[in-house]
Structure 1
Amino acid sequence: MHFEEIDIDQTHIRLKSDLGNANLKQYIFKIRQELKRHIAKNPDFLLSIEALKYNSENLDEIVLKMYESSSKADVGPMACVAGTISEMSLDYLINNGSTYSIVENGGDIALVNDEDVLCGIYSNNKILGNNIAFKIKTRKKPLGICTSSGKIGHSISFGSSDSVTVISKSPSLADGLATRMANEVNGENSEDKVSNALECGENYKEFFDGVLIISDENVGTIGKLPKIVESDEFNIIH
């Protein structure tokens, strides 16, 4: 099994794959250059916190995917950037013959796995800590597991969640939806915060498999989630 860390500007990839020489770093550099060129011509793409109108003609794949996902999730395009890079990186590996690859980009994960894996849930919650994980069963199709937090990380969030994790067939869309729901984790108390985020999530059920919301002493879920198991030592992937 091949392990690699790829750091290019704001992209920080941790890779576990059955492919050892796929030149993933070169591919990520290429799609990031395409993204930079679009931003240079369209500054609103970088700055907007709302979905933007777009013409799909002559757009590079990374740009089009970010427009599409952000429009469905009702967030700005950059809310989908990490999940989109994870998704496209995984597709690249699959197209090169991989049947087991996990691409983690700042907590936004795209994976395909021909054996069971554990995916840690990182929330720093005062009760749950970081000692729980999803058990992801063997699968042949890609899966996205993306998390947003109002307390951890550098991403913009207007809520105060410990973590909002979205599971979707599209990691790009899961990233945007995690941001959208995390923005709604607001209220007078923890129960209200989770309830408001769950109410928001109901509007997007067609786009995801399941959602896990953790805020202080309350936890909420929507849809179907993988089995949650206790994990003695936190790892994003193992």
Structure 2
Amino acid sequence: MHFEEIDIDQTHIRLKSDLDNVNLKGYILKIRSELKRYISLNRDFLLSLEPLKYNGENLPDIVLKMYESSTKADVGPMACVAGTISQMSLDYLIENGSDFSIVENGGDIALINNRNVLCGIYSNNEVLGNNIAFNIKARKHPLGICTSSGKIGHSISFGTSDSVSVISKSPSLADGLATRIANEVKGKDSESKVSNALETAENYKEYFNGVLIISDNNIGTVGKLPKIIESKDFDVKL
């Protein structure tokens, strides 16, 4: 099994893969270069916190995916950047013959796994701790698991969740949805915060498999989630 860390500016990849002879770093440099070039000519793409109108013709794939996902999730395009890079990196590995790869980019994960995988949920929650995990069964198709938090990390969040994790067939969209739902974890108490976020999540059910919301001493779920187990040994951590 091949392990690799790839750090390029704001992109921090941890890779676990059955491939050891593929230049993933070169591929990420390429798509990041395309993204940076587009941003240099379209400043609103970088700064907007809301979806933007776009013409899909002649756009780099990374830009197009970010537009599409942010439009569905009702967030700005950059809210989908980490998940999109994870998704495109995984697609690149699959195209090169991978049956098992986990691409984690700052808590936004794209994976394909021909054996069970434990994905740790790092919420820093006082009740649950950091020793719980999704048990992801072996599968033949890609999956995205992305997390947003109002307390951990550098990403913008208007809510106060410990963590909001979204599981979707599209890591790019899961990233945007995690941001959108986490923004609504707000209210007069922990119970109302989770209730508000659950109501928001219901509006996007067609786009995800399941959502896990953790806020103080309250937990909420929507859809179908993998089994959650207690463990200290993870293949990857959100």
C-alpha distance in structure 2 between counterparts of 1:37 and 1:138, whole Å = 38
Identify the residue that residue 71 of structure 1 maps to in structure 2.
71
How far off is 1:33 after superposition?
0.2
C-alpha distance in structure 1 between counterparts of 2:9 and 2:186, whole Å = 32
Q: Gaps spanning 5+ residues in structure 1: where? A: none
C-alpha distance in structure 2 between counterparts of 1:193 and 1:186, whole Å = 4
After superposition, the C-alpha distances for 1:102-155 in whole angstroms (9 at most, x for unaligned) are 000000000000000100001000100101000000000000000000000000
CA contact (8 A) 1:131 1:234 kept: no
| Stretches (4+) displaced over 6 A | none
C-alpha distance in structure 2 between counterparts of 1:236 and 1:192, whole Å = 31
How far off is 1:234 after superposition?
5.9
Matched positions, count: 237
Query: Normalising by the residue count of structure 2, what TM-score does the alignment of the two structures yield?
Result: 0.98
Does residue 177 of structure 2 align to residue 180 of structure 1? no
Does residue 129 of structure 2 align to residue 132 of structure 1? no
Identify the residue that residue 211 of structure 1 maps to in structure 2.
211
After superposition, the C-alpha distances for 1:185-232 in whole angstroms (9 at most, x for unaligned) are 000000000000000000000000000000000000000000000013
Identify the residue that residue 167 of structure 1 maps to in structure 2.
167
C-alpha distance in structure 2 between counterparts of 1:235 and 1:147, whole Å = 16
Identify the residue that residue 156 of structure 2 maps to in structure 1.
156
CA contact (8 A) 2:147 2:164 kept: yes
Identify the residue that residue 32 of structure 2 maps to in structure 1.
32
SS of 2:13's partner is strand
How far off is 1:21 after superposition?
1.2
C-alpha distance in structure 2 between counterparts of 1:83 and 1:27, whole Å = 15
C-alpha distance in structure 1 between counterparts of 2:234 and 2:150, whole Å = 20
Q: Gaps spanning 5+ residues in structure 2: where? A: none
CA contact (8 A) 1:107 1:236 kept: no
Structure 1 residues 200 and 82: CA distance shift in structure 2, 3 A: same
C-alpha distance in structure 2 between counterparts of 1:38 and 1:233, whole Å = 40
CA contact (8 A) 1:125 1:162 kept: yes
After superposition, the C-alpha distances for 1:74-124 in whole angstroms (9 at most, x for unaligned) are 000000000000000000000000000000000000000000010000100
Query: Normalising by the residue count of structure 1, what TM-score does the alignment of the two structures yield?
Result: 0.98
SS of 2:184's partner is coil
Identity %: 80
